[in-house]
Structure 1
Amino acid sequence: MNINDIINSIYKLPSTSLDTLTHLISEVKYPKHFHLFRENRKESKSYFLKKGIVRAYAHKDDKEVTFWLGQEGDFIFPLQTLFVGLGEYANVELLENCILYEIDLERLQNLYLNDIHIANWGRKYAEYACIKSEKLFISRQFKTSLERYQELINEYPDITQRVQLGTIASYLGISQVNLSRIRAQIR
């Protein structure tokens, strides 16, 4: 995905603001299993995902619990670091070899202060992230595991070819055995 398309999918920027923002972005490549963010560490970069798939996970009772998946076009943002200056509460791991667009957080913060359009773009992204988090929370609270799986497949049609089933089960909050039963039920 083109960086201009990713940025404008969040909030369409005037060309001068878009040029200012993209001037500070560089393309980087990292291998599968590379960690962009680590728990309890303050981060200095944000990323837009050009190609690949990632997950956010945390540790609970000696298990890894996946609670977010990102794919092409998604923004990978260290919210704890950016908004409250704390270390991150989760790890972000690449599940495939990835191509990303990288931007320094300090530079991005300066753009928020100096360009109202970029500040509004950041606010729109924060609103989008809040709504997505709320939908995920509601889904976990009120939907069956079958309904959650069907939602996941609708959002990520090729996820079962790209992500291990154990990671998908963790994301859905179910066991891998339960996931296998759900998949057999759908076929």
Structure 2
Amino acid sequence: MTIDKIIDTIYPLPEISREKLKQHISEVSFPKGFCLMEVNKVVPYIYFLKKGIARAYASTENNDITFWFGTEGEPIVSMKSYVEGKPGYESIELLEDCELYQLEISKLRILFNEDIHIANWGRKFAERELIRTEELIISRQYKTALERYKDLMKYKPYLLQRVQLGHIASYLGMSQVSLSRIRAEMK
């Protein structure tokens, strides 16, 4: 996905503002398995997935709990680092070889002060991430495992072809055995 399309998906910018923003965006590539962000570390960048897939997770004593998947066009950000400049809660692992767009947060903050359109773009970016987080929390609190699986099949069926079932089960808040049972019942 092109950076222009990603920018417009968040909030369309006038051409001069778009070009100003794009001057600070570079392309980077990392291999499958690379840890793009580590828990308890400040992440100085926002990334946007050009190609590939990533997952965000938190580790417990017994396992990793996946709570987010990102695919082409989506941002990868530690909101704690983005908003407060503090260490993030999550780790982010690349599940495929990935091509990303990288934007340094400190440079973006300078642009916020220089260009109201870019400042509004940043506000819209944060609002979208807040809504995604809210939807995840509501889903986890009020939907059954079966409903969460049906939502996944409806809105993100491609994850079933690209992501290990163990990560999907964790994301849905169930064991891999429960996920296998649900899948078998739906066939």
- What is the TM-score when the length of structure 1 is the normalising length? 0.97
> For 2:113 and 2:146, how far apart are their aligned partners in 1?
45
> For 1:59 and 1:37, how far apart are their aligned partners in 2?
13
Alpha-carbon distance, 1:88 to partner = 1.1
RMSD in angstroms over aligned alpha carbons?
0.9
Question: Which residue of 1 is the match for residue 123 of structure 2?
Answer: 123
Question: Which residue of 2 is the match for residue 86 of structure 1?
Answer: 86
* Map 1:6-155 → 2, pairs under 5 A: 6-155=6-155
**CA deviations over 1:31-83 (Å, ceiling 9, x no partner):** 00101100111111110101111000011233101011111110111211121
Alpha-carbon distance, 1:125 to partner = 1.2
Corresponding pairs, count? 187
Q: Which runs of 5+ in 2 are unaligned?
A: none
The code of the aligned residue for 1:146 comes to L
Q: Which runs of 5+ in 1 are unaligned?
A: none
The code of the aligned residue for 2:7 comes to I
Aligned sequence identity (%):
51
> For 1:54 and 1:153, how far apart are their aligned partners in 2?
18
- What is the TM-score when the length of structure 2 is the normalising length? 0.97
